[in-house]
Amino acid sequence: MGTIESAYKYEDQLSSQWDLKIHSLDGKADKIKFKVQSTSIPFSSFDVERKKSGELAFKGYKEIDNFSVTLRESSDFSTFKFFQDWQDKFYNRDTRTFNTFYSKADYYKSLYNIEITFYVGMVIAIGIPYIDVDTMRPSYSFFGSNCKPIAIENLSLDYSGSGPLVFSVSFACEKTKLYSV
């Protein structure tokens, strides 16, 4: 009988230790970071069907390529403006028409890569993580390539709360992958 690796061998990955960066494909607009409230990282799934014999069989593979990120807005609305300007590369709101790209190079200048990186903090005592930006090291990253902003969700305004203003942006990516850093 084989040995079972203990799940207690490693510290928990804390959900608050990650960031989101947007990179241009050519690397010129590298490392734009946003204050992120929440996100769901897309993975993949298998389609299964039950055969007449009762056995479950794999039917197909589905790569999930759409996901959304909920962002915290800054006081000058620069976050919202960034995503609205990005959408404007594809659509003219005045004429209500999609923009024409005159070359593939022009089209690819309008796409960005998205990277969500998870970090692990240093452990200073048994089971007690020490969280400091200088001691954080990347552990895993989710990477979406050739992404497009497909939706900017409505801003929800409320006088009764004093929390930050948040909104969600949905993306479609041509390829996604999760990899160890």
Q: What is the pLDDT along the chain (181 residues), one digit of tens a residue?
A: 556 665 555 555 555 567 778 887 766 655 567 777 777 777 778 889 999 999 999 999 887 778 888 888 888 888 889 899 999 999 999 999 999 999 998 898 889 988 888 877 665 555 555 555 556 777 888 888 899 999 998 777 777 767 778 889 999 988 888 777 7
pTM for this entry: 0.72
Domain covering 10-180 in this structure, CATH number = 2.30.110.20
Q: Which of 13, 2, 7 is nearest to 129 (CA)?
A: 13
Q: Which helix (H) or strand (E) holds 22?
A: strand 18-24
Instruction: Classify the phi-psi angles of 105: left when phi > 0, otherwise alpha if psi is within -120 to 50, otherwise beta.
Output: alpha
Q: Are strands 122-125 and 112-120 parallel, antiparallel or unpaired?
A: unpaired
What is the residue extent of each domain of the chain?
A: 10-180
Q: Residue 50 CB: number of other CB atoms within 10 A?
A: 10
